[in-house]
């Protein structure tokens, strides 16, 4: 369903009854099963790499603010926004890292959304095991529940070897024990939990263990970042969706010898960059993804 349809639906739902009009039968059935107000949407942004300088993005200082402005311009505010890692570009200098996190936090503070959540990427967390990230953005693993969906945030970057680690896997297992087999579960992580392309380090060393723990649950969807492009993959019945970046796009896995950024195209600035809306229909355990550009034309 297009973003327009979603907004139209929400507008109609807000006046009551109109959800049953022609063309929205699918929603009408969902509304029969659960109140329409259970549907919601969130926005995923990823890989802004604040602090990056280089030819792949001549507007490195402007891209994130433009994306924030685009989110603020959405007709309805999302229920929440989540940044799925690599908020900042890595630096060996701990003071510079905190400076970049301060600047990033100040920019995203402009978001007109009540709830903004963060998870780290390896650029934020791998050189200090997440210390600076926690100072600025809080825990690197957590759960929350929202309108019938159980969200789980995993950290596969604070270990520089890109592992979840046994303690976190045990924590995940304990959390999942509290969930019904048909629970609506959404997982956020930075790196893919499956071996997308280990030749380019697009994997989590023990990600298969997390997928194995999730596998008994019938309604699981994973949203992640790291690979700077949209990608969709199934491990059994579990869907994995990666998001675009807000700094530079990367090539399709294995399409060229090196994992180097796709060059900036002056004729089409910001091409390959963007963010997404995810419209959740908990009653149907469905998530409709709409990709949006950094700036609307």
Partner 1 sequence: MPIDIDNGRTGRRAFVGAVGGLVLGSVAGWTLAGPQPRVIEVVAKKFEFVPGEIQVRRGEPVTLQFTAPEVPMGFNLADFNLRADIVPGKVTTMQLTADKTGTFTFLCDVFCGTGHEDMSGTLVVT
Number of amino acids touching partner 1 (CB under 8 A): 18
Q: Which of 95, 177, 232, 258 binds partner 1 (CB under 8 A)?
A: 258
> Does 263 help bind partner 1 (rule: CB under 8 A)?
no
- Per-position x/- string for 199-238, each x denoting binding to partner 1 as judged by CB under 8 A, each - no binding: xxx---x---------------------------------
Q: Three-class SS string for 30-98?
A: HHHHCCHHHCEEEEEECCCCECCCCCCCCCHHHHHHHHHHHHHCCCCCCCEEEEECCCECCCCCHHHHH
3-class state of residue 223 by DSSP? strand
Nearer to partner 1, 6 or 226 (CB): 226
In the complex, least distance from residue 234 CB atom to partner 1, rounded to whole angstroms: 21
**E strand segments, 99-237:** 116-119, 142-146, 149-153, 184-188, 219-224, 231-235
Residue 176: closest CA among 187, 163, 166: 187
In the complex, least distance from residue 103 CB atom to partner 1, rounded to whole angstroms: 18
| Binding positions for partner 1, 238-257, rule CB under 8 A | 257
In the complex, least distance from residue 248 CB atom to partner 1, rounded to whole angstroms: 12
Give the separation between CA 271 and CA 263, rounded to whole angstroms: 10
Q: Which of 8, 126, 143, 290 binds partner 1 (CB under 8 A)?
A: 126
> Does 160 help bind partner 1 (rule: CB under 8 A)?
yes
Give the separation between CA 67 and CA 88, rounded to whole angstroms: 15
> Quick one: 174 exposed, middle or buried, by C-beta within 10 A (0-12, 13-18, 19+)?
exposed
In the complex, least distance from residue 154 CB atom to partner 1, rounded to whole angstroms: 17
In the complex, least distance from residue 69 CB atom to partner 1, rounded to whole angstroms: 29
Binding region for partner 1 (CB under 8 A): 90-92, 122, 126-127, 157, 160-162, 198-201, 205, 257-259
């Amino acid at each position: 369903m297009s973003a327009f349809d979603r907004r139209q639906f929400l507008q109609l739902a807000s006046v009551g009854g109109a959800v049953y009009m022609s063309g929205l039968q699918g929603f009408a059935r969902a509304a029969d099963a659960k109140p329409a107000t259970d549907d919601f949407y969130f926005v995923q942004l990823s890989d802004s790499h604040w602090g990056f300088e280089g030819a792949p993005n001549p507007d490195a200082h402007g891209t994130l603010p433009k994306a924030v402005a685009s989110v603020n311009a959405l007709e309805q505010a999302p229920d929440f926004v989540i940044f799925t890692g690599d908020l900042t570009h890595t630096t060996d200098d701990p003071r510079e890292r905190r400076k970049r996190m301060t600047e990033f936090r100040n920019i995203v503070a402009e978001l007109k959304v009540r709830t903004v959540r963060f998870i780290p990427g390896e650029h934020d967390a791998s050189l200090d095991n997440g210390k600076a990230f926690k100072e600025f953005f809080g825990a690197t693993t957590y759960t929350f529940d929202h309108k019938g969906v159980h969200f789980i945030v995993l950290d596969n970057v604070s270990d520089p070897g890109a592992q979840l680690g046994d303690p976190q896997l045990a924590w995940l297992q304990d959390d999942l024990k509290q969930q019904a087999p048909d629970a609506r579960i959404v997982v956020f992580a930075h790196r893919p939990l499956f071996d997308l392309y280990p030749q380019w380090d697009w994997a989590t060393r023990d990600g298969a263990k997390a997928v194995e723990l999730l596998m008994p649950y019938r309604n699981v969807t994973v949203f992640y970042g790291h690979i700077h492009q949209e990608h969709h993959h199934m491990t059994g019945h579990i869907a994995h969706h990666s998001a675009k970046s807000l700094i530079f796009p990367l090539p399709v896995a294995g399409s060229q010898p090196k994992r180097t950024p796709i060059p900036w195209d002056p004729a089409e600035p910001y091409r390959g960059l963007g963010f997404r809306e995810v419209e959740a229909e908990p009653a149907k355990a469905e998530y409709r993804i709409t990709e949006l550009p950094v700036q609307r034309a």
